[in-house]
Amino acid sequence: MKLDKPVTGGPCWTELGTSDLAGAKLFYEALFGWRTETDPRQEAGGYSIAHLGEAAVAALAPLYQEEQPVAWNVSFAVPDADAAAARVTEAGGSVLLGPMDVFDVGRFAVAVDPTGAVFQLWQARTFAGAGLLNAPGSLGWVELMTRAPERAVDFYTTVFGWSVNASERYTQWGVDGADFGGMVAMDDKFPHEVPAHWLPYFAVADVDDMAADATEAGGTVLMDPTSVPEGPRIAILRDPQGAMFGVYRAADER
């Protein structure tokens, strides 16, 4: 990721919805060295923020709706959540929740793109998002998995104005040319029941060690550590509750 702080249009936050908040805290604290603090207010519903040092890097929360899947979610920064939500619907997507205020920290909405991938919009007030990006233990890349890549390009460039850096192997998203994520076209190798989705990648010092640590902590390695041609060393993991996430070596350039 070529961003070191949240910027308009870029990923600013990632949060986990989980069926076992206590178990997820233990797993990710063991993996990334996070320190988690749960908001004590009853109306916060157990929302917990993970820190590295003093920097907020991610959130973990219980499932708030019966149909909500166990999954990591990605938020993108916008100056006006209501205007961004309107652009989502105009571009062919849908707004599932909001826009709505979150105390005094910001305003957010949950949306789904025309290919079926869920994402979030975040209008910052007192909380801008992650205080650390692209450093070990923090969010460093976001990847869209979709079966309709051309439709996705049309949608996201319309809603966010992203730049697109496409090659035969991979398509990368950027803000003014600063790449922060990419897109993978889902083919027959992906089970039919797996929907389009956004996958966060966390930066780590050593991908192979992290894969071994995840297994020891009760997780699963879905894609073994591999070095991408002209890219980073990566792996895709699943936590004990079933949420998928990626890791990549922080020293590698994307």
Give DSSP secondary structure letters for 4-22: SS--TTSEEEEEEEES-HH
Q: How many separate domains does the chain show?
A: 2
Residue 208 lies in a domain: yes
Q: What pLDDT, on a 0 to 100 scale, did the predictor assign at position 190?
A: 87
- Note the pTM of the prediction, 2 decimals: 0.95
Tell me: do 92 and 168 sit in the same domain: no
Q: Cα 248–251–254 angle (5° rounding)?
A: 65
8 in Cβ contact with 176 (< 8 Å): no
Among 42, 57, 108, 113, smallest CA distance to 78 is for 108
Q: Is pLDDT at 12 greater than 70 in this prediction?
A: yes
The average pLDDT across 212-223 equals 97
Residue 132 lies in a domain: no
Alpha-carbon gap, residue 115 to 92, rounded angstroms:
9
Residue 4 lies in a domain: no
Query: Which residues constitute the domain of residue 75?
Result: 11-124
Tell me: do 114 and 150 sit in the same domain: no
Tell me: do 210 and 156 sit in the same domain: yes
Domain boundary residue, one of 124, 154, 171: 124
Tell me: do 41 and 84 sit in the same domain: yes
Residue 129 lies in a domain: no
CATH number at residue 239: 3.10.180.10
Q: Is pLDDT at 167 greater than 90 in this prediction?
A: no
Q: What are phi and psi of 157, to 5 degrees?
A: -70, -30
Mean pLDDT estimate for the chain? 94
Q: Is pLDDT at 139 greater than 70 in this prediction?
A: yes
37-46, 153-162, 222-231, 245-254: least confidently modelled range? 245-254
Tell me: do 106 and 57 sit in the same domain: yes
Confidence of residue 254 (pLDDT cuts 50, 70, 90): very low
Tell me: do 108 and 168 sit in the same domain: no
Residue percentage of the chain with pLDDT more than 90:
83
The average pLDDT across 60-81 equals 93
Alpha-carbon gap, residue 160 to 79, rounded angstroms:
11
Which residues neighbour 98 within 8 Å (Cβ) at sequence distance 6 or greater?
Answer: 81, 85, 107, 108, 109, 110, 121
Intra-chain end-to-end CA distance of the chain, in Å:
6
Which of 5 and 139 is assigned the larger pLDDT? Answer: 139
Residue 133 lies in a domain: no
Q: Is pLDDT at 38 greater than 70 in this prediction?
A: yes
Tell me: do 149 and 231 sit in the same domain: yes
Residue 224 lies in a domain: yes
Domain boundary residue, one of 124, 156, 189: 124
Tell me: do 109 and 148 sit in the same domain: no
Sheet with strand 35-38: strands edge to edge: 35-38, 48-52, 55-62, 11-18, 71-77, 118-124, 106-112, 94-102
**Cα dihedral sign for 4, 13, 143, 97?**
negative
